[in-house]
Amino acid sequence: MKYHLLRILVATCVALFSGIVSANDSVKSAMSNSGNWAIWGGDYAGTRYSELDQINATNVKDLQVAWTFSTGVLRGHEGGPLVIDGTMYVHTPFPNKVFSVNIEDQTINWVYEPKQDPDTIPVMCCDTVSRGVAYADGKVFLQQADTNLVALDAKTGKKIWSVKNGDPKKGSTNTNAPIVIKDKVFTGISGGEFGVRGFLAAYNINDGSLAWKCFSTGPDDEMCVDPQNTTDRGTPIGPDSSLKTWEGDQWKIGGGTTWGWYTYDEETNLVFYGTGNPSTWNPVVRPGDNKWSMTIFARDADTGMAKWVYQMTPHDEWDYDGVNEMILADIEVGGAMRKTLVHFDRNGFAYTLDRVTGELLVAEKYDPAVNWASHVDMETGRPVVVAKYSTDQNGEDVNTENVCPAALGTKDQQPAAFSPKTNLFYVPTNHVCMDYEPFQVEYVAGQPYVGATLSMFPAGRVTGDGTDHLGNFIAWDAAKGEIKWSVPEKFSVWSGALATAGDIVFYGTLDGHLKAVDADTGEQLYSFKTPSGIIGNVNTYTQNGKQYITVLSGVGGWAGIGMAAGLEGDTDGLGAVGAYKQLGKYTQLGGVLSVFALPN
Amino acid sequence: MSVKKNIIVRGLTGSLCLFFSFITLPVASADENAATAYKDHIQCVEGEACKIDLYLTRGYRAFSQCQVCHGLDANGSSFAPSLNDKLKEIDKELFVERVSYGFTGQVGVMPPWIENPNVMKYIDNLYDYLKARSDGAIPGGKLKRYDR
Please give the mean pLDDT across all residues of chain B. Answer: 79
Q: Do A205 and A137 form a contact (C-beta atoms < 8 A)?
A: yes
Each residue's pLDDT tens digit, A516-570: 999 999 999 999 999 999 999 999 999 999 999 999 999 887 776 644 444 444 3
| Res B2 pLDDT > 50 | no
| Res A10 pLDDT > 50 | no
Confidence of residue B75 (pLDDT cuts 50, 70, 90): confident
Confidence of residue A127 (pLDDT cuts 50, 70, 90): confident
The pLDDT assigned to A509 comes to: 96
φ, ψ for residue B133, nearest 5 deg: -60, -50
| Res A177 pLDDT > 50 | yes
Range from A39-53, B13-27, B32-46 carrying the lowest mean pLDDT: B13-27
Interface contact B129, partner A, CB < 8 A: no
Domains of chain B with CATH codes: 3-134 (1.10.760.10)
The minimum CA-CA distance between A327 and chain B, rounded to whole Å, is: 29
Q: Which long-range contacts (CB under 8 A, 24 or more apart) does B43-50 make?
A: B43/B146, B45/B18, B45/B21, B46/B21, B47/A573, B47/B10, B47/B15, B47/B18, B47/B21, B48/A573, B48/B18, B48/B21, B49/A572, B49/A573, B49/B139, B49/B143, B49/B144, B50/B137, B50/B138, B50/B139, B50/B143
| Res A440 pLDDT > 60 | yes
Residues B86, A192: Cα–Cα separation, whole Å: 29
Interface contact B67, partner A, CB < 8 A: yes
Please name every residue paired with A184 in a beta bridge, in sequence order, or none if there are none: A181, A204
Length of chain B: 148
Each residue's pLDDT tens digit, A468-504: 899 999 999 999 999 999 999 999 999 999 999 999 9
Is B139–A450 a contact, with Cβ atoms under 8 angstroms apart? no
Confidence of residue B79 (pLDDT cuts 50, 70, 90): confident
Residues A75, B78: Cα–Cα separation, whole Å: 8
Interface contact B108, partner A, CB < 8 A: yes
Interface contact A442, partner B, CB < 8 A: yes
The pLDDT assigned to A22 comes to: 52
Interface contact A126, partner B, CB < 8 A: yes
Nearest to A431 by CA among A394, A398, A456, A452: A456
Confidence of residue B67 (pLDDT cuts 50, 70, 90): confident
Q: Do A131 and A260 form a contact (C-beta atoms < 8 A)?
A: no
| Res A122 pLDDT > 80 | no
Length of chain A: 600
The pLDDT assigned to A280 comes to: 79
Q: Do A376 and A349 form a contact (C-beta atoms < 8 A)?
A: yes
| Res A259 pLDDT > 60 | yes
Question: What pTM was estimated for this model as a whole?
Answer: 0.90
Q: Can you list the alpha helix ranges (DSSP code H) found in A442-513?
A: 460-463
| Res A587 pLDDT > 90 | no
Mind telling me the catalytic residues of A?
A: 319
**Size of the A and B interface in Cβ pairs below 8 Å:** 105
Confidence of residue A279 (pLDDT cuts 50, 70, 90): confident
Confidence of residue A108 (pLDDT cuts 50, 70, 90): very high
Is A444–B102 a contact, with Cβ atoms under 8 angstroms apart? no
Is A399–B79 a contact, with Cβ atoms under 8 angstroms apart? no
**Mean pLDDT, residues B7-21:** 32
Chain-centroid distance of CA A179 in Å reads 13
Residues A573, A593: Cα–Cα separation, whole Å: 41
| Res A146 pLDDT > 50 | yes
Q: How many CB atoms lie within 10 A of CB B7?
A: 12
The pLDDT assigned to A524 comes to: 98
The pLDDT assigned to A255 comes to: 93
Higher pLDDT, residue A184 or B30: A184
**Mean pLDDT, residues B106-123:** 92
Higher pLDDT, residue A291 or B47: A291
What are the residues whose beta carbons fall under 8 Å from the beta carbon of A63, sequence distance 6 or more? A55, A516, A526, A528, A549, A596, A597, A598
Please give the mean pLDDT across all residues of chain A. Answer: 91
pLDDT above 90 coverage of chain A, percent: 79
| Res B3 pLDDT > 50 | no
Rounded to two decimals, the ipTM of the complex is 0.79
Cβ-count burial A111-131 (b if 16+ within 10 Å, e if not):
ebebebeebbbbbbbbbbbbb
Each residue's pLDDT tens digit, A300-339: 999 999 999 999 999 999 999 999 999 999 999 999 999 9
Confidence of residue B13 (pLDDT cuts 50, 70, 90): very low
Nearest to A335 by CA among A360, A361, A310: A361
Higher pLDDT, residue A289 or A8: A289
**Mean pLDDT, residues A121-143:** 89
Residues B74, B139: Cα–Cα separation, whole Å: 10
Q: Do A385 and A372 form a contact (C-beta atoms < 8 A)?
A: yes
Range from A294-308, A533-547, A575-589, B27-41 carrying the lowest mean pLDDT: A575-589
Q: Do B111 and A123 form a contact (C-beta atoms < 8 A)?
A: yes
Q: Do A314 and A297 form a contact (C-beta atoms < 8 A)?
A: no
The helix (run of H) or strand (run of E) holding residue A349 is strand A349-354
Q: Do A274 and A260 form a contact (C-beta atoms < 8 A)?
A: yes
Give which of B77, B104, B138 to mutate to test A binding, by max A Cβ within 10 Å: B77
| Res A374 pLDDT > 70 | yes
| Res A233 pLDDT > 50 | yes
Nearest to A92 by CA among A146, A130, A138: A130
Q: How do strand A539-543 and strand A546-553 relate by DSSP bridges?
A: antiparallel
